[in-house]
Structure 1
Amino acid sequence: MATTNPPGTSTTQNPISLRSILFWIMIVAIAAFSLGPILWQFLTSVKVNKDIIAVPNVYFPTQYTLDHYAELFARRPFWVYMLNSAFVAIVSTLLCLGLGAPAAYALARLKLKGEQIILALVLVVTLFPYILLFLGLLEVVQFFGLANTYLALIIPYTAINLPLTILVLRSFFEQLPKDLEDSAKIDGYNTVQMLWQIVLPMTLPALVTTGILAFIFAWNEFIFALTFITRESMKTIPVAAVQLGGATALEIPYGAMAAATVLGTVPLVLIVLFFQRKIVQGLTAGAVKG
């Protein structure tokens, strides 16, 4: 005799497989590994000093305080440091996009002699460790008298990020149909108008993605900012955070340094969250065709 299952019941069972368990374990482990240092810095920034120096470690504060954040602005002009970082990062990012977009468009659309050689050179420069340029840039900064000026940071940041900007934008320009550009030429657009009014709006996700990468690099860069800028009123956040001093020569202000790290990270997080949709579009564009 055939049996029937009650309504609403399923005839098949879906037991949890070992693969799915391992998959979620890996996800949790990667998330903990990535977010652990950030969470530790945040918790340190709101701990009282006795919890920070306690042995064994106190992982979660017994008392919460915002004194370390207040100390940043009371003892040092931290707003000035944030404005310096923002100015240098924004200007260098805009220069990267302003110079990189036309160059990428030319490499994508024009048939240039030695195009492959140019692309190979751009790729080599992209892969070249920028720290090896330090001594050469130091000589250039001293020769032109750029020390303690914003140009001492803006020019190197732009030059370092420009090759990557060109490579990324070139790949996006190559994916655009040329029929749109041909139609624009028939309608009377010149090259500059076509690039500004038609091509660039269609590659906005790529512009946002490369722009954020350039901005993050300029915001977080430390070695050049430490060496080329010695004037207190022109320092950037990474340098200011490292050079925070305690009340005495032997005191290390772990709480204030953690607070400075958190404040230096918040703008980057907000930018990524604000442009999240564009970033995802920029990273996935061209992955599926058809």
Structure 2
Amino acid sequence: MTEVALYRAVRKPAAYYRVRRRIVRLFQSAALLLVLIYTLFPYYWAFVSSTKQGAALYRAALVPALDFTYYRQLIDNPVFMGSLLNSAYVAVATTFLSLFIGLSAAYALGRIDFPQRRTLLMIILMISIFPQVVVLSGMFELINWMGLFNRPSALVLTYLLSTVPFTTWVLTTFIREFPRELEEAAIIDGCSHFRILMKILLPLMGPSLASTGILAFILAWNEFLFALTFTLTDENRTVPVAIGLIAGNSRYEYPFGQIMAASVTVTLPLILVVLFFQRRIVAGLTAGAVKG
């Protein structure tokens, strides 16, 4: 038997490969559907629960009742709306300061040669994995000494302890990936390190800045322990603490519907921020840094 005849004997028909591709796509679609259900169902259940009152909360119905009484109560609640503004201020300030400090440190760690650079980077990584309770007492004394206790600014300073090491580590990895030819050409033209960072690398780091900024924003928005410790009055609390302190009309009532409505309201800005910056990340990743 010749080689051509042998190939024709063992070759499978084209219909087999079409069926195989369809089966693979079917399994991929089913896996994607399961992941979406697993991740989105808790948020949908929270929305359904937030539209029910009384005994309807205990009925296993997946269709929302479309009763937005709890949402109107939240909008009319000045304490909750003030906590939203506090969380927005703390999260935005923490994100910008983390990116500024982390970008400066990442450029030094990723591009400038100095002794013990790797050791310093490992120390920064170790700081980022410290549990919050380990530094809680020390930060309490520092905040009290600086006169920032019971102020949103205290939370910004405290959150930098966890966001700066993270942003520094991630941005250092991105900076190392850029070709050195860009900097060498700029140095020949007489640019300083600061100008190289601001004029050359920064415009190319949109995807990395967006991704690390989103994670820093989410961390500062959702943090609970430091916010509960360093704020005492309602006008200075952030949203997670405000939700945790929601109480019913009596000691025997658990305000499940109000808590679910507040949780949905707090989660919605995060979803919008992620969707908005996700488009910018995809555009930045597909644009390409060097063209020639």
Q: TM over 0.5: same fold?
A: yes
Alpha-carbon deviations, 1:174-229, whole Å to 9, x = none?
11122212222333332222211111111111111111110000000011111110
Show the counterpart of 1:244.
Answer: 246
1:60 to 60, 63, 71: 63
1:97 has 2:102 as partner = no
The 1:11/1:173 distance shift into structure 2, 3 A limit, reads: closer
Distance apart, 1:283 and its partner CA:
8.2
Q: AA paired with 1:205? A: P
Show the 5 A alignment for 1:123-272.
123-272=125-274
Show the counterpart of 1:32.
Answer: 37
Which one has a larger percent helix, Structure 1 or Structure 2? Answer: 2
The 1:60/1:164 distance shift into structure 2, 3 A limit, reads: same
1:15 has 2:43 as partner = no
Structure 2-normalised TM-score? 0.85
1:48 has 2:53 as partner = yes
CA contact (8 A) 2:79 2:234 kept: no
Q: Secondary structure at the match of 1:111?
A: coil
Alpha-carbon deviations, 1:45-72, whole Å to 9, x = none?
1223331144xx33323x3211010111
Identity %: 37
Tell which deviates more after alignment, 44-53 or 164-173: 44-53
Distance apart, 1:285 and its partner CA:
11
Tell which deviates more after alignment, 233-242 or 127-136: 127-136
Show the counterpart of 1:4.
Answer: none
The 1:45/1:178 distance shift into structure 2, 3 A limit, reads: same
Alpha-carbon deviations, 1:155-185, whole Å to 9, x = none?
1211211111111111111111222122223
Distance apart, 1:18 and its partner CA:
6.2
Structure 2 unmatched ranges of 5 or more: 1-12
Q: AA paired with 1:49? A: G
Distance apart, 1:15 and its partner CA:
2.7
Query: Residues of 1 paired with 2:36 and 2:157: CA distance?
Result: 36
**Number of equivalenced pairs:** 274
Distance apart, 1:248 and its partner CA:
2.7
1:71 to 70, 73, 79: 73
Distance apart, 1:139 and its partner CA:
3.0
Query: Residues of 2 paired with 1:228 and 1:269: CA distance?
Result: 27
Show the counterpart of 2:9.
Answer: none
Structure 1-normalised TM-score? 0.86
CA contact (8 A) 2:227 2:241 kept: yes
Q: Secondary structure at the match of 2:191?
A: coil
The alignment yields a C-alpha RMSD, in angstroms, of 2.4
CA contact (8 A) 1:209 1:278 kept: no
The 1:285/1:140 distance shift into structure 2, 3 A limit, reads: farther
Q: AA paired with 2:54? A: N
CA contact (8 A) 1:104 1:170 kept: yes
Q: Secondary structure at the match of 1:277?
A: helix
CA contact (8 A) 1:206 1:282 kept: no
Alpha-carbon deviations, 1:123-145, whole Å to 9, x = none?
21223333432233223333433
The 1:183/1:283 distance shift into structure 2, 3 A limit, reads: closer
Q: Secondary structure at the match of 2:254?
A: coil
